Amino acid sequence: MTHRLADLPDDILYLILCQLESARDLRSLALACRRLHHLITNDGWRIFVRNRFPSLDPPLPATGAHTWSQLAESMTWQSRSWDKRSLQFQALLPQAEPRRNGRPQPGNRSLFMSVVDAHFDPATQQELVVWGAGEDIVARYRERQGRAKASKTSWHKLDGKEHGLSVGYDDVKTIKVVEHRSGRAIITGRHNGQLSLLSAEPDRFGERIAQFGPVPDPSAHSRQPLEQDTINSLDILSNGTTRVLAATKSSLRVYTLPEDEAAEVAPVATYNLTEDALMPDSAGRLGGARWMEQGESVALAYVGGKTPLRYLALSPTGFSLHAAAKSERVEKEFGIKYDRTICPNSLEPVYLHSGARRGTSLLLSSWRDGTVRLQDLRTPSPFDAVFQDNVDPWANAEALLSYGTERFLAGGGDGLTLQIFDFRWPKSYYHTAGLPCLTSAPFPRPHQPFLKPLLLDNTGGGAAVARCDPVTARACPWHPLSRALYYRPNAKYFLSESLRSFRAASVWSLARAGDVAPNLYVGVSGGVIEASLEQTPDGYYPSPSGGVEVVDPNFGFADWRAAAPSASGYKARPLVPALMETGDGYSFRGNDRSILLPSLLRYQGPREKLGAGLARHHRLDGGYQEEMDFRGGLLGGWK
């Protein structure tokens, strides 16, 4: 009797689909017959997304104008772009303001630290990015119109001077986009202690909806900032009701987002840290706070004390302060100390799976000794790890941004730099699984300060074969080695060369609109930098129009490089990044020794195709490829 794959029950076929490693395999199976095509269309792409990207939380197709197959297309496209470092940048800077005599002068762009947040509505395909520019608030609305089509864009601004606000004292310190009723709103915390809920709808942008108390006394208005009342951080928790967490120097306030307009909203809970006997000393200050464990606890970054990282446990009887659990194994292995100063804006929760929104006790934090620490707040978890730039181990990260357990980004305190760290957890998806076999190792060979080159026998594949054989479990040299940590080093982007007047600038905030957003925003001194995943042309697969799909086909903006309208008061300036690979990213005891400096690769843009068809096997984006890479990769890639 002849048995066919399509005759198997659905439950058995689902188990088979879970084992497919690439979207190419799933698509090939869908073309086999009508039943398999129907099965994969209805359930296969959903199974693929859930199994290959378990820690990311994409918008469900029911909430937007996309399907599961489009989600799979975008998430595999983005994963490949991240791995190949296909990231491009553009700066949004205030236009120069004319002097009284008509001569131009620089604006106040060097006087403010930009804080930024973003939101994407999958139903309307509209993105909103807002940032604080001193006492002003700037917003850009951008709505997708389809593949390779120009987006519908508009800019709005709340002018602080028109509302009686002054430079410095009334600067925006933190900002968040929230869903309010059937629309959107923004919450702003200012240096003067003012916490406001403002409309984010284009037709009434900046209109006040509510004021969160206690409201600063206008009669006490002075030119000096009231540091005691300054809103240092904001965090939002939405699980039925929306709760706002605001941190000042010495207190925490919890608010419930009002449904209707209100003159003043009183806090539902207040916690004064100076009154707690467990707080180490009164000389320090609270720098940042984040919701954890679905609102059951709050992580605290305390600056100036002996225990910088703490957490508050919330219970029906009130708050209780605890020291974050310390891991003796991590302390011994990495030689770290827990009394070093923490970067207050760097607290970033890490979610192990898509259903754990806000329900996590894993926290990333950056420290002044150059380390980024992953720690379970309550237990000495086996997930604890310490990350560090292996080339410049003393570089601090002022802001962090996590993508599930795939990767996290660190915004440098050492200038305009952006670093990509791999969490080094076992990954469920590798874009290299969909590429043809090779008899060489991945190329070019990376610079690794602390890892030794891998031998072919280390992959467990035995003797080299020309093609992977799933029956005998023998693999070609390229596929198993392409997954090894040695050939997947971290990367660091340097942006100051394109903004020479901003060489003294730094990164203050990082934001993205969601787990499938192919772009992110970097708040820097005097402006905002937009970073977008963009493959160099002559890359992988041709688009339906016959060209090359250089941005995400379903969530990207083809015209993201478009110039800002003159009425916006901003100008767009393209940046040319320089890339350096910085090692595996783990902290080592010998990380302070002198090492050979890796090459600094400058993005060269589109060029003639290189490598006689091997360009897509190159570890990096086409803009970083050189002819010598292909010769070196084929002749001396592995031993």
User: Taking 50 as the threshold, does the pLDDT of residue 531 lie above it?
Assistant: yes
Reported confidence tier of residue 261, pLDDT bands at 50, 70, 90? confident
User: Taking 60 as the threshold, does the pLDDT of residue 637 lie above it?
Assistant: no
Which residue from 287, 346, 299 is spatially nearest to 324, judged by alpha carbons?
299
Q: Is 204 helix (H, G, I), strand (E, B) or coil?
A: helix
Per-residue pLDDT at 105: 46
User: Taking 70 as the threshold, does the pLDDT of residue 483 lie above it?
Assistant: yes
Through-space distance between the first and last CA atoms of the chain, rounded to whole angstroms: 48
pLDDT, tens digit, for every residue of 133-150? 999 999 999 999 888 788
- Average pLDDT of 102-112? 51
Calpha distance 157→205 (Å, rounded)? 8
Instruction: Choose the weakest-confidence range: 46-60, 93-107, 442-456, 622-636.
Output: 93-107
Rounding to the nearest 10 degrees, give the CA dihedral for residues 603, 609, 614, 618: 0
Q: Is 387 helix (H, G, I), strand (E, B) or coil?
A: strand
Q: What is the DSSP string of 96-135?
A: PEE-TTS-EE--STTS-B-EEEEEEETTTTEEEEEEEETT
- Write out the two tokens for 343: 């970067």
- Average pLDDT of 514-527? 93
Q: Rounded to 5, what percent of the chain is helix, strand, coil?
A: 20, 30, 50
Calpha distance 240→388 (Å, rounded)? 38
User: Taking 60 as the threshold, does the pLDDT of residue 225 lie above it?
Assistant: no
Calpha distance 200→452 (Å, rounded)? 52
- Average pLDDT of 487-493? 95
Reported confidence tier of residue 456, pLDDT bands at 50, 70, 90? low
User: Taking 90 as the threshold, does the pLDDT of residue 602 lie above it?
Assistant: yes
User: Taking 60 as the threshold, does the pLDDT of residue 555 lie above it?
Assistant: yes
Q: Which residues contact 61 (CB under 8 A, 6 or more apart)?
A: 67, 68, 71
Instruction: Choose the weakest-confidence range: 107-121, 193-207, 284-298, 426-440.
Output: 107-121
Instruction: Choose the weakest-confidence range: 309-318, 500-509, 567-576.
Output: 500-509
Q: Write the CA distances from 199 to 48, 64, 204, 206, integer angstroms.
A: 39, 23, 6, 5
Q: Please give the residue that has the higher pLDDT: either 431 or 470.
A: 431
Which residue from 366, 355, 377 is spatially nearest to 506, judged by alpha carbons?
366
pLDDT, tens digit, for every residue of 234-250? 999 988 789 999 999 88
Calpha distance 515→50 (Å, rounded)? 13
Letter string b/e over residues 597-623, b meaning 16 or more CB atoms within 10 A of that residue's CB: ebeebebeeeeeebbeebbbbbbbbbb
Reported confidence tier of residue 541, pLDDT bands at 50, 70, 90? very low
Per-residue pLDDT at 612: 67
User: Taking 90 as the threshold, does the pLDDT of residue 40 lie above it?
Assistant: yes
Q: Write the CA distances from 311 to 40, 55, 248, 499, integer angstroms.
A: 45, 24, 16, 39
- Average pLDDT of 287-315? 88
User: Taking 60 as the threshold, does the pLDDT of residue 437 lie above it?
Assistant: yes
Reported confidence tier of residue 108, pLDDT bands at 50, 70, 90? very low
Cα Rg for the chain, rounded, in angstroms? 25
Q: Please give the residue that has the higher pLDDT: either 638 or 141.
A: 141
User: Taking 70 as the threshold, does the pLDDT of residue 540 lie above it?
Assistant: no
Reported confidence tier of residue 463, pLDDT bands at 50, 70, 90? low
Per-residue pLDDT at 431: 94
Q: Please give the residue that has the higher pLDDT: either 413 or 277.
A: 413
User: Taking 80 as the threshold, does the pLDDT of residue 34 lie above it?
Assistant: yes
pLDDT, tens digit, for every residue of 263-283? 899 999 889 887 665 555 555
Reported confidence tier of residue 83, pLDDT bands at 50, 70, 90? very high
**73 sits in which H/E element:** helix 68-83
Instruction: Choose the weakest-confidence range: 94-108, 505-519, 541-555.
Output: 94-108
Q: Where are the beta strands (DSSP E) in 148-296?
A: 152-158, 172-180, 183-190, 195-199, 208-212, 233-239, 241-247, 251-256, 262-265, 269-272, 285-292
Letter string b/e over residues 358-388, b meaning 16 or more CB atoms within 10 A of that residue's CB: bbbbbbbbbbebbbbbbbbbeeebebbbbbb
Residues of the chain above pLDDT 90, percent: 52
Calpha distance 19→53 (Å, rounded)? 13
> How far is C-alpha 505 from the geometric centre of its chain's CA atoms?
20
The residue type found at 165 is: L
User: Taking 50 as the threshold, does the pLDDT of residue 542 lie above it?
Assistant: no
Mean per-residue pLDDT of the chain: 85
pLDDT, tens digit, for every residue of 579-596? 999 999 888 777 766 678
Per-residue pLDDT at 304: 79
pLDDT, tens digit, for every residue of 146-173? 887 889 999 999 999 998 998 888 999 9
Residues of the chain above pLDDT 70, percent: 86
Q: Write the CA distances from 364 to 17, 253, 294, integer angstroms.
A: 34, 23, 17
Per-residue pLDDT at 461: 46
Alpha helices in 316-362 (DSSP H): 328-334
- Average pLDDT of 564-581? 93
Instruction: Choose the weakest-confidence range: 20-24, 241-245, 324-328, 448-452.
Output: 324-328
Q: What is the DSSP string of 226-250?
A: -TTT---EEEEEEESEEEEEEE-SS
- Average pLDDT of 205-218? 81
> How far is C-alpha 175 from the geometric centre of its chain's CA atoms?
17
